[in-house]
Amino acid sequence: MPDISDALDLRGERRLFVMLRLLAEVGQPIDPGALRAAANVAVPVIPAETVLVGGDKQLWSRRIVRGYQALVNAGILTTRQGDWELTAAGRDAVRRAATPEDFWSERRPARRAARTQESAPPKNVILYGPPGTGKTYRTVEQALVCLGVPVTGDRAQMKAVFDQRVRDGHIRFVTFHQALSYEDFVEGIRPGTRDGAITYDVAPGVFKDLAQRAAADPGQPYVLIVDEINRGNVSGIFGELITLIEETKRTGAREALKVTLPYSKQEFGVPQNLFLIGTMNTADRSLAGLDLALRRRFQFIEMPPCPEQLEKVHVPGVDVALFLTRLNERLQSLKGRDFTIGHAFFLELEGDFTVADLRRVVEGKVIPLLQEYFFEDEQQIAQVLGQRGHAANAANLLVRENTPVAGGNPIWRYERSVLDEAAFYRQVIGGATPAVEIVPDDEAA
């Protein structure tokens, strides 16, 4: 379920749903008119301070602001350092929120009750977010929850238990990619030899193999982790099983279904004790572009950048958490929240480090990501870095030089030595963020 920042980026009915759902979760009265107005205009996240003081870059309707103000009044949103963020109650509401199908269904109360039972984690989960937010890292904890193993918070202990369950065959791991097929995942024909002759036998894929193990051992949960689930051809890889993984279609459920597999001709169903955990990098493909059948059958847990987790990172003269926050504010404004940068890239610096150590992370991980996000557009990279010009100095990474060809494009040079200077990081922190202007309803687009 998306959080409120996703809601601000969504359009129409989908955004309205998120707002209504969050308000309903905390039991607050709803102003349908204000929220409908907010839902009908597609906008990026509104910096809170500009809502209060105004600006001159973008146009906003007061009706939209009233829609978001309803979320503030409900205790879902608050402001910190000039930006909206979820309160504790808001985050709790997001965690409890159901899918749109559940929300509009007459059976929603029963489904919601089932979801909130600690003994029954959701069967299908996707952890999604931009690069470097710890999605694959989090799958260890999520898998243990599915297996009914107490989560202690001790990472070393959790990883040891996880590794043992992998060795026991209770957890399998697969990465989706463009070459992965139905034959690899479900079943297919494999060449082999028998008594010196070539044979072609039907062999189970990773999913079918684990599903059959789970069906034969109903008292033991099994977990399949699918890393980078959005990088494969989901409809082609899952095939007819995209229907069977749904909780209500699994064996033993009231609406259980089985299919006859195309190669083995075996009747096949997905058991209740098989859990699917996927990860999804939103910079590769946003939720909006994800296969609709997959979206309906998985619960989504957002893994956003969390700069607050960098409080133990100490670099003289640089607030690393604020550095990452400012980068992401500009990235969200220019590209959207799917193209931000995660905190996990900086966690290797936990403790006392120098600016040279920080340079290793920024130069090796952050700058390449920015180049990928803004292919051959150094002007926008300079904006993200908060540069106040393009001349060579102690803070500007990108230096623009005149083109030797009349009418040609400017030549950009990376002055990487500035990454060793605290002045570079302070400029990123202090760079300007675009403001917005609130205008009367009849002037808003």
| Residue range 245-257, pLDDT digits in tens | 999 999 999 999 9
Span(s) in the chain for CATH 3.40.50: 121-302
Considering the four listed CATH numbers 3.40.50, 1.10.10, 2.40.160, 3.40.1350, the one that applies to the domain covering 121-302 is: 3.40.50
| Residue range 380-427, pLDDT digits in tens | 999 999 998 888 888 999 999 877 777 777 889 999 999 999 999 999
Q: What is the pTM of this model?
A: 0.69
**Tokens of residue 277, six digits:** 């955990």
pLDDT confidence of residue 40: 45
> How many residues are present in the chain?
445
**Tokens of residue 107, six digits:** 């059976």
CB atoms within 10 A of CB 216: 9
CB atoms within 10 A of CB 236: 12
Binned average pLDDT, 10 residues per bin, the chain of 445 residues: 40 48 52 46 39 36 57 69 62 50 36 46 93 95 93 88 96 94 94 86 95 95 95 90 93 95 96 96 69 80 93 91 95 92 92 92 96 90 91 90 75 92 93 46 42
339, 283 Cβ separation under 8 angstroms: yes
Closest CA to 270 of 224, 321, 214: 214
CB atoms within 10 A of CB 366: 21
CB atoms within 10 A of CB 361: 19
**Three-state SS across 27-86?**
CCCCCHHHHHHHHCCCCCCCCHHHHHHCCCCCEEEHHHHHHHHHHHHCCCEEEECCEEEE
